[in-house]
A and B are shown apart, each in its own frame.
Chain A
Amino acid sequence: MAVLINLLYIVASILFIFGIKMLGSAGTARRGNLLSSLGMLVAVVATLLYSGLSWWMVVTGIAIGALVGGVAAVRVKMTGMPELVALFNGSGGLASLLVGLAELSKVHAGGIEGYLAGLFAQSGVRVPDWFALAAIAGTVIIGAVTFTGSLIAFGKLSGKLDGKPVVFSGQKLITAVVALVALFAGLIMVVGADSGVGLAGGCALVLLALAIGVLMTLPIGGGDMPVVISLLNSCSGVAAAMAGFIILNNVLVVAGCLVGASGLILTVIMCRAMNRSLPNVLFGGFGSGAGPQGAAVEGEMKPASTEDAYYVLEAASHVVFVPGYGMAVAQAQHAVKELAGILEDNGCQVEFAIHPVAGRMPGHMNVLLAEADVPYEQLWEMDAINDVMESVDVAVVIGANDVVNPAAGEDPSSPIYGMPIINVHQARTVYCLKRGKGTGFSGLENALFFRENTRMLYGDAKETLSELVGQFKG
């Protein structure tokens, strides 16, 4: 039976690999996801072939989990997607943490020798005691950090916690000390094995690791969330791989590691899109008001009415929309799509320019605009749109801020200097839809708003857009 189970695990791994590969291109993505879910089914069925499982627990656990996860997935609105992804991610981290704890409790209930014998009976591999315990410690640490880190990210994304970075003096020192103590607790847990001291070390390790997750995520601002979410995603994979090292299970190691690697790549892509290093994002406390603030901006912001904007848009032959987090907050994607449709009927060329880190998760704007049925051909990536920006009549910035701040290219003293941006300031006219006069998440004044060719449209983005639609219809 063990041979059959492991063969099925290989099948599952192959399905995961093809699934991830197909997720990488638009035409095959949906089938890829289906394939990878099939892989998961194969892995679960294979595991059920192990004799001696408590069946009522298997059925109960899967039923409850499927119900909760299914309902959440079906009912969430697309604007709530970043929060939900964070929650699911935390759920996976917690599951790995609990798997580690279940194994730890076996060690302490039956003694380390009995535990290793049981492991041998189930996997056919005899491992040294330090290895089993170290794998448990690794799973517990990474699983716990993923869990609490994702919860804090969820809080920030859903607005239940303040999106501004929480920074206090000595924070880095405290985090470093907690991490060191956690390592020490892990060491005690491994050395103490099945003694009471080992158990105490294990308990301390869990609590400290949970604290590390909170301490790491609190100082990171809302606008850096695309990086954090992809990093936590990577962590949940590594936690699963670690759990695979405890129970010596190939499919856990392979699938977990695939996720870990892919999450890490996405993290790097996001960092690059902001021209910042990962340590800078994690430890920089960006947007907390500390550090350089850039040169003072001269001039004044020029407010405009929707009526002014209507006349300019009506005469325009090439319009580019630049959405940002503000569009998600105002749930304005449908209103944008309606306005874009009217402009097109008016003989105008319309595009949407998407910055890689616009919004709160990688690809956030694409999801929202897809929900509003904006055709794929109209979604342009940053470099492509910058090439033609000088020929654009009107750029409409909807709740985006730092990703269109020309200071990133012009002001070496600006904290975001060097970040690639969408060059809307090169368009003939720029309209910025903005809730109020406040600064974006980075706390910077946006030089764009003070430009000669920029007009501000204050108010709720959705209402402003609906008014514009009304003007066209009226």
Chain B
Amino acid sequence: MEFAPLLLLLFAFTLAAFLGFELISKVPSQLHTPLMSGANAISGITIVGALIALNAGGPGVARWIGLLALIFATINVVGGYLVTDRMLAMFRKKKGGE
């Protein structure tokens, strides 16, 4: 059993955690909602997992579950990005008006 690739994945996970902490540690409270909903849209990355479950070589059940997963992940992604953009557009409009 070869563990090196798994350890690399764990390595990426750990570094990403630290990166996440570093990136967000100082955000003005004005941006808390867009930040949260923007991050929420990114968590829709699980859409990649859903797509892979749609492999025609797999069993039928897996594909049907994968289709459901794809629908919900897409709702998360598309809805999340659009709603974040709507909010940020309001913030910007106000700035431009000054």
Q: How far is the CB of B56 from chain A (nearest CB, A)?
A: 5
Q: How far is the CB of A128 from chain B (nearest CB, A)?
A: 5
Q: How far is the CA of A310 from the CA of B40 in the complex (A)?
A: 44
Chain A hits for B50, CB < 8 A: 61, 95, 98-99, 102
Looking at chain A's contact residues, is the secondary structure mostly helix, strand, loop, or mixed?
A: helix
Query: How does the 8 Å CB contact mask read for A356-386 relative to B, with 1 for contact and 0 for none?
Result: 1000011110110011011111010100000
Q: How far is the CB of A114 from chain B (nearest CB, A)?
A: 10
Query: How does the 8 Å CB contact mask read for B87-98 relative to A, with 1 for contact and 0 for none?
Result: 111111111011
Counting contact residues on chain A (CB < 8 A from B), the size range is 35 or more
Is A279 among interface residues, defined by CB-CB distance under 8 A?
A: no
Is the pair B49, A244 in contact by a Cβ cutoff of 8 Å?
yes
The contact of B83 among A47, A85, A245, A254, by CB within 8 Å, is A85
Chain A hits for B74, CB < 8 A: 61-62, 64-66, 69
Residue of B nearest to A68 (CB): B75
Is A230 among interface residues, defined by CB-CB distance under 8 A?
A: yes
Q: How far is the CA of A37 from the CA of B47 in the complex (A)?
A: 13
Q: How far is the CA of A243 from the CA of B57 in the complex (A)?
A: 20
Is the pair A70, B42 in contact by a Cβ cutoff of 8 Å?
no
Is the pair B94, A370 in contact by a Cβ cutoff of 8 Å?
yes
Chain B hits for A230, CB < 8 A: 36
Given contacts A91-B72, A125-B6, A261-B16, contact A32 B65 (CB under 8 A): no
Chain A hits for B45, CB < 8 A: 16, 40, 43, 240, 251-252, 255-256
Residue of A nearest to B20 (CB): A261
Q: How far is the CA of A254 from the CA of B14 in the complex (A)?
A: 9
The contact of A261 among B24, B35, B55, B63, by CB within 8 Å, is B24
Is A265 among interface residues, defined by CB-CB distance under 8 A?
A: yes
The contact of B40 among A53, A64, A251, A259, by CB within 8 Å, is A259
Is A148 among interface residues, defined by CB-CB distance under 8 A?
A: no
Q: How far is the CA of A78 from the CA of B78 in the complex (A)?
A: 18
Chain B hits for A69, CB < 8 A: 74-80, 82
Query: How does the 8 Å CB contact mask read for B22-51 relative to A, with 1 for contact and 0 for none?
Result: 011111111111111111111111111111
Q: How far is the CA of A245 from the CA of B33 in the complex (A)?
A: 29
* Segment at the B interface, from A17-25, A162-170, A179-187, A210-218: A17-25
Chain B hits for A103, CB < 8 A: 53, 62
Given contacts A24-B27, A106-B58, contact A16 B42 (CB under 8 A): yes
* 12 examples of A-B residue contacts, CB within 8 angstroms: A23-B38, A29-B88, A32-B38, A58-B51, A72-B75, A88-B80, A99-B49, A239-B46, A259-B40, A262-B24, A262-B39, A366-B30
Q: Which chain B residues have a beta carbon within 8 Å of chain A's beta carbons?
A: 1-2, 5-6, 9, 12-13, 16-21, 23-59, 61-63, 65-95, 97-98
Interface pairs A-B: 3 shortest CB-CB = A65-B74, A261-B20, A69-B79
